[in-house]
Amino acid sequence: MGEWKGESIQAVTAKEIAQLQTDNVKSDLEIEPATYYTVNRVIREYRGGFRGIGGLIKNTYRFFKDEALKDQMNSNSFVGGIDGWSFLDGNRVYVVSGWAGVSQVTGNEARLLSLQKSSTHYFQRPDASQVELDSNATSLTGYAGRLVLNKEQGNWILHYTVGAA
C-alpha cells in the first residue's frame, strides 16, 4: 500500500500603499490589503498507481485596514476537493476517475452583490432558475463534481463524463 504524499505552499503579502497628490495635497491610499494564501495537496496511490485518491484545500484571507477595499475584494475564499482514479484492467486501458469540490467566498453585501452580477456568474439572468440574486448575501457557496470513464489506449478511444455543478 502506498503512503500519503503531500505538499503545502503558504505565502503572506504585505499591504500596498499608493501615494497620491491632488492640488499639492499628498495622501496615502491602501490599494491592496495584507493577504495570507495557502494551498495544500495530499495524494495516495495504491497497487503501483492502479488506484489513487487525493485531496486539495486552498484558502485566502485578507486583512483590511481600509474599509473601502471591502467593497472591491472578497474577504476570504476557500476551495476544498477530493479526486481519485481506478484502472479497471491490468493493462491500464480503462480508467474511472472523478472529483468533487466545494468553494466559498465571503465579503460584505456590496462586494457579494457585485460578484453575483459579474459576467462570471450572472445570478440576475431570468433563465438561471437555480440561483437568485441576494442583495443581503455575505457569502456564496458552490459545488461541482465529475465522474469520467476513459479508454486510454488502442485504435479507438472512449470518453464518457457525467458532471454536476
pLDDT number for residue 130: 84
Instruction: State pLDDT tens for residues 11-69.
Output: 999 999 999 999 999 999 999 999 999 999 999 999 999 999 999 999 999 999 988 99
Would you state the cell numbers that stand for residue 37, as one nine-digit string?
494564501
Mean per-residue pLDDT over the chain, rounded: 94
Tell me if 133 sits within 8 A of 116, measured CB to CB.
yes
**pLDDT reading at 1 higher than 70:** no
Nearest to 144 by CA among 69, 79, 62: 79
Instruction: State pLDDT tens for residues 113-134.
Output: 999 999 888 888 888 888 888 9
Q: How far apart are CA 140 and CA 37, in angstroms?
A: 19
Q: Which amino acid is at 19?
A: Q
pLDDT number for residue 55: 98
CA 44 to centroid of chain Cα atoms:
22
User: Is the pTM higher than 0.85?
Assistant: no
